[in-house]
Structure 1
Amino acid sequence: MKYTNSKVEEVKFNNKKIFVKRDDLLHKDFSGNKARKFYYFLKNDFNNVTKIISHGSSQSNAMYSLSVLCKIRNLDFDYYVDHIAEYLKTNPIGNYKEALKNGMNIIVKEVPKNIDKNSIFIPEGGALEEASFGIKILANEIITWAKETNLKDLKVFLPSGTGTTALYLQKYLPFEVLTCACVGDEQYLQKQFLELEEENHPTILNLDKKYHFGKLYKEFYEVHKELKEQTNIEFDLLYDSKGWLCVNKHLNNSKSDILYIHQGGILGNISMLERYKYKYD
């Protein structure tokens, strides 16, 4: 299984033609931007490594993808969190439930400062230089597709957490890469970029309203439903809802062709949709 070379679909959303790169369909278990970020660890051999260590939230997409990676590579997986909600412990769901099924060892405390030589440490969200390995392959797929379809004036859009995927795409693509900050604000995203690369940063788009990551917003729920109805594609509620609101605001009248990168994360929708339906339906 290659876990690369996803298809591109043409859709119409609010009467605007947009191309969607379906990285959500790379593989049923190992897909989206995390499959690209962690591809380096899938394809390379690491002598004597028996464990991967990471940290973040208990419903993280990266957590689930790393649990799949460790299962494929037959590695132990220690994942550190600052807490697990009681309702999640008693009613496992979504990324948390599936990562546990894959053998994740979840630990409620701070990540140890000293990592032994038989372990690999992967920072929260996969914000690391090795991510460029898989993202360069994604960039080459986009370049090949653009040539085959004779698209010269192309803008590539994707929402960002740490911004790692957008950053490395801009490094390897001849097209402008646009993104929006979903986890922190624009300053947070710029800081994340600078930690990995000094230049070639993507363009950050913003909305008039400030959004806090993980909170529920009626407009996020509404655009999610509209996307499903108009494109027949399910998008992620945490990142893509804000992403498509940015597309509507900034790119709806653009003369350039737009390629939207669908980065997966659909498993996280299970718990998010329960919360949205309880609040708004």
Structure 2
Amino acid sequence: MDLINQKILLNLPDGIELFIKREDKLHPIVSGNKFRKLKYNIQEAKKLGHTTLLTFGGAFSNHILAVAGAGAEFGFKTIGVIRGEELASKVNQNPTLFKAKELGMDFYFVSRSVYQEKESESFVIELKDRFGDFYLIPEGGTNKFAIKGCEEILTEEDKQVFSHVVCAVGTGGTFSGLINSSNEKQQLIGFSSLKGAFLSDVIRNFAEKTNWEINDDYHFGGYGKVTDEFIHFLNSFYNQTNIPLDPVYTGKMVFGILEMIKNGYFAPKSKILMIHTGGLQGIKGMNFALQKKNKEIIQYDKD
């Protein structure tokens, strides 16, 4: 499915043109890069005869909701192993978990220390003893099937038209897929949503080219962290463009790109394509946290 690249009609210097690929419009629930990551995982699960999908995530995980939505649409039972035992009594107050539950997902709440063992063989064996056989999708969805799906984001025209392709980076799967499918003359920039310069090593495990870099200057304090300036930016950008951005991933990427343009990073007449990876469902959770602190909220709260 090819999406129209929407031009950002802002007053940019040096003839620079900025576009955004609205991957957030791919599916109402399995949004953006989650749609891409799950596409071939679903096919593999069916091929292997599985009827249950099991995955991992936190309180407001886009991935948890996407797996629940995919399971409901394609006839799989879904299980979410959720970080934080205290959330077991708060499902109805959590918009992400409540929607995943409505879509049929069962939850297994574990402590943060147990959650850290999610990739260990012994923990997976314990989960199979508890739930029976399942198709395991890692936290965030990144594996070889996810990367294969993300390699389909760029069209042939995208590879010829744009000098730069930029994307927010969490687990590295989407960015790796973009790198693999890119034109080697293009420059790819990944904006880390995490604090700490370790993503490059992760991406090298999946990416086949070297035409990329990771920028970790715009995480605003770490994963899921925001500032008053950043929230004000999200609202201002929406008022100017009518494009909603999520506060964890894409919003930070767009903030970073505009700052880099302002600081003269890009050559004149550069054509930059930003990838909107979805995640808008997380706005409700972010606004809940902001309201408790009497802070400005994101004005375009997604229904």
Give the aligned partner of residue 62 of structure 1.
Answer: 63
**Secondary structure at the residue paired with 1:196?**
coil
Give the aligned partner of residue 163 of structure 2.
Answer: 154
Question: Percent of aligned positions with the same letter in both sequences?
Answer: 22
Gaps of 5+ in 2: 297-303
* 2: CA distance, partners of 1:132 / 1:171: 9
**Structure 1 position 9 matched with structure 2 position 23:** no
Give the aligned partner of residue 300 of structure 2.
Answer: none
One-letter amino acid matched to 2:103? N
* 2: CA distance, partners of 1:268 / 1:209: 16
* 2: CA distance, partners of 1:195 / 1:92: 39
**Structure 1 position 81 matched with structure 2 position 82:** yes
Give the conservation status (yes or no) of the 8 Å contact 1:58–1:84: no
**May I ask how many residue pairs the two structures share in their alignment?**
271
Give the conservation status (yes or no) of the 8 Å contact 1:206–1:246: no
Gaps of 5+ in 1: none
**Structure 1 position 232 matched with structure 2 position 242:** yes
Of 130, 144, 150, which aligns to 1:135?
A: 150
Q: Where do 1:153-172 residues align within 5 Å?
A: 153-172=162-181
Q: TM-score, normalised by structure 1?
A: 0.86
Q: Where do 1:194-273 residues align within 5 Å?
A: 194-197=204-207, 200=210, 202-207=212-217, 211-252=221-262, 253=264, 254=266, 255=268, 256-273=270-287
Query: Please, which moves more after superposition, 208-217 or 165-174?
Result: 208-217
Q: Deviations over 1:149-200 (max 9, x none)?
A: xx2x52011111112111121111012210111124222x123213434753
One-letter amino acid matched to 1:144? E
* 1: CA distance, partners of 2:22 / 2:2: 9
Query: Please, which moves more after superposition, 79-88 or 6-15?
Result: 79-88
**Secondary structure at the residue paired with 2:251?**
helix
RMSD, matched Cα: 2.5
* 2: CA distance, partners of 1:24 / 1:119: 28
Per the alignment, do residues 25 and 78 of structure 1 end up closer, same or farther by CA in structure 2, a change over 3 Å counting? same
* 2: CA distance, partners of 1:184 / 1:209: 6
* 1: CA distance, partners of 2:157 / 2:69: 29
Q: Deviations over 1:122-149 (max 9, x none)?
A: 111012111122112112x2x32455xx
Give the conservation status (yes or no) of the 8 Å contact 1:160–1:179: yes
**Structure 1 position 185 matched with structure 2 position 196:** yes
Give the aligned partner of residue 107 of structure 2.
Answer: 106
Per the alignment, do residues 14 and 209 of structure 1 end up closer, same or farther by CA in structure 2, a change over 3 Å counting? farther
Of 289, 295, 303, which aligns to 1:275?
A: 289
One-letter amino acid matched to 2:135? I
**Secondary structure at the residue paired with 2:28?**
coil
**Structure 1 position 72 matched with structure 2 position 73:** yes
* 2: CA distance, partners of 1:208 / 1:160: 11
* 2: CA distance, partners of 1:210 / 1:31: 24
Per the alignment, do residues 145 and 192 of structure 1 end up closer, same or farther by CA in structure 2, a change over 3 Å counting? closer
One-letter amino acid matched to 2:4? K
Give the aligned partner of residue 35 of structure 1.
Answer: 35
Give the conservation status (yes or no) of the 8 Å contact 1:236–1:266: yes
Give the conservation status (yes or no) of the 8 Å contact 1:161–1:183: yes
